[in-house]
Amino acid sequence: MSNFTVPAHELDENNCFHRSTPEAEGISSNAIQAFLDGVKKEKLELHSLMILRNGKVITEGAWSPYELETKHFMFSLSKSVTSTAVGFAVSEGLLSLDDKVVSFFPEHSDLDMDEKMASMTVRHLLTMTSGYIENISGSLIWSHKKTSWVKEFLQLPLTYAPGTHFVYNSGSSHMLSAIVTKVTGLPISDYLKPRLFDKIKIENYTWDKDPEGNNTGGWGIRFSTEDIAKFGQFYLQKGKWEGEQILPVEWIDQATTYQVSTAHLDKEPRQQGYGFQFWVSHHGVYRANGAFGQTAIMLPHQNTVIAITAGMDQGEDVIGLIWEHLYPAFQSSPLEEDTAAYEQLQENLENLSLFPAVPHSSSVTAEKVSGKKYQMKANGDGIHTIQFDFSNDECLFTMEDDAGAHTIRCGIGEWIQEPTSMPGAIIHHMQQPDDLTATARGVWENEKTFVMTWTYHNMPFSDTVTCHFEGNKLIFRRHSNVKRHLDRPLIIGVQE
């Protein structure tokens, strides 16, 4: 176990971290720029980035049209927060790692359970060694179930004896949430509020719940980029914040160090092992990871936290760039000021953008199709009609399905942001939040083809929507930046 300790940081009057320069904290602005250049070269879709060193922000930026302050879907980064709730419950004597899972749910004792279920413990849930052969849950499977998710979990057959095989499993994380709620009487979002969130100044967070009121332990929390950084800094400081030991060091050490082998997995960053709902790596580095690149990376020996939101199929792809450009560049002492490099880095951070600027475009087709409604041929997405209403500076796109009319307003060459109910769960990892907001723009690619880009400011997804007009026909296609195998097929419409 490492004896390395990290000095606690302070917060400014706005409850945010102090800001510093990279050089003052021992890394060159050029090294950080090289990392950003690598992100661009590798075409990695980062949405936001914050780097803390010595508890101070040395780099922060968001790729337009995304914003640092947005409460972004965290997906499986939520698992690490759930693990933290378990840590508090253990420290308060409410449960132990060796408690049997079934002991918390006597109301389900009459279920026909696999006989191996009797030996499953809290520790097995934490280390993803519950005994299932595959990921038996997650937002893709359980989100729309109105029955007890706990009951669903307990009734499934086990392939392995608990504790013997690592199989990443969101159901295990959800059971941890349900167990903490059982022993505390509170959803873990409420349980953690006075113990963690209030103390490290994470506010206005939300967390999805199952039909029984348990927070979805494996996914569902929304954090801003700085919230991710605060959570990471809390762990980097081994559970200490502003002089108070909030969570025992012993728990932090167990949660963030090797507990089980993951060498059989297909991606190198995932092959180094797993703790208690944290991925572990070389040099004491550990990560809280969420789908599509939502990440808190803690580098204890470099006294550094890296917080990222993103929209990438392979979120681990950014890890290689950190090892290449950032990790070896950290020094133990401040560097000489490099005003030119620092100012250039700041300018580049202020002008980050996912999409190149496009000029205002027009087409005679806009006037011909504006206000016309297209009756769409039968399709798997249930789209009945599509209508375009063009003005000089924007387009109002309206789609009707069984649920009614859904609109997105996009600027012609400029971004417009407003709430929308536009459905897209099938290409958005089954996510369809009630408070969906789209930031959208459109451009005439040629006289007959109008292409819209729809981004969703609190999710990793962005859609490219291609509308080709041929006579009285519309050829419509929509695809997302991730999960391209789920791209929607062409749909043909005819003017009414």
The predicted-structure confidence for 312-356, as pLDDT tens digits, reads as follows: 988 788 999 999 999 999 999 999 999 999 999 999 999 999 998
Kind plus residue range of the DSSP H or E element containing 473: strand 473-480
What is the structure's pLDDT at 3? 39
Cβ neighbours for 235, distance < 8 A, ≥ 6 positions apart = 252, 255, 256, 286, 296, 298
What is the structure's pLDDT at 166? 95
In terms of Cβ atoms closer than 10 Å to its own Cβ (0-12, 13-18, 19+), residue 443 is middle
94: left (phi over 0), alpha (psi -120 to 50) or beta: alpha
Find out whether 394 and 411 touch, Cβ atoms under 8 Å: yes
Residue with tokens 């997302």: 480
Rounded CA-CA distance 115/160 in Å is 11
Residue with tokens 């918390």: 104
pLDDT beyond 90 at 142: no
Count Cα neighbours of 115 within 13 Å in the Cβ-side half-sphere. 0
Report the percentage of the chain scoring pLDDT > 90: 83
Mean pLDDT (whole number) for 199-204:
96
Rounded CA-CA distance 228/73 in Å is 11
pLDDT beyond 90 at 288: yes
The CATH T-level fold of domain 364-495 is: Lipocalin (2.40.128)
C-alpha closest to that of 54 among 16, 12, 15, 26 = 26
pLDDT beyond 70 at 34: yes
Residue 251 DSSP one-character state: H
C-alpha closest to that of 208 among 263, 265, 138, 278 = 138
Backbone angles phi, psi at 412, to 5 degrees: -85, 100
> Cα separations (Å) of 291 from 76, 170, 488?
6, 12, 21
Rounded CA-CA distance 473/176 in Å is 53
In tens, the pLDDT along 361-379 reads 899 999 999 999 999 999 9
Give the pLDDT band of residue 267 (cuts 50, 70, 90). confident
Rounded CA-CA distance 7/55 in Å is 8
Rounded CA-CA distance 269/5 in Å is 25
Mean pLDDT (whole number) for 133-162:
82
Rounded CA-CA distance 449/361 in Å is 11
C-alpha gyration radius of the chain: 24
Give the pLDDT band of residue 89 (cuts 50, 70, 90). very high
Domain boundaries, the chain: 23-350, 364-495
Kind plus residue range of the DSSP H or E element containing 397: strand 394-401
Mean pLDDT (whole number) for 409-424:
95
Find out whether 247 and 239 touch, Cβ atoms under 8 Å: yes
What is the structure's pLDDT at 10? 46
pLDDT beyond 80 at 4: no
pLDDT beyond 50 at 287: yes
Count Cα neighbours of 470 within 13 Å in the Cβ-side half-sphere. 6
Find out whether 137 and 169 touch, Cβ atoms under 8 Å: yes
Mean pLDDT (whole number) for 403-408:
97
What is the structure's pLDDT at 138? 59
Kind plus residue range of the DSSP H or E element containing 115: none
Mean pLDDT (whole number) for 231-255:
98
pLDDT beyond 60 at 13: no
Class of domain 23-350: alpha beta
What CA dihedral angle connects 308, 313, 318 and 319, to 10 degrees? 100
C-alpha closest to that of 414 among 64, 98, 161, 41 = 64
Tell me the pLDDT of the chain averaged across its residues. Answer: 93
Rounded CA-CA distance 314/482 in Å is 9
Find out whether 262 and 273 touch, Cβ atoms under 8 Å: yes
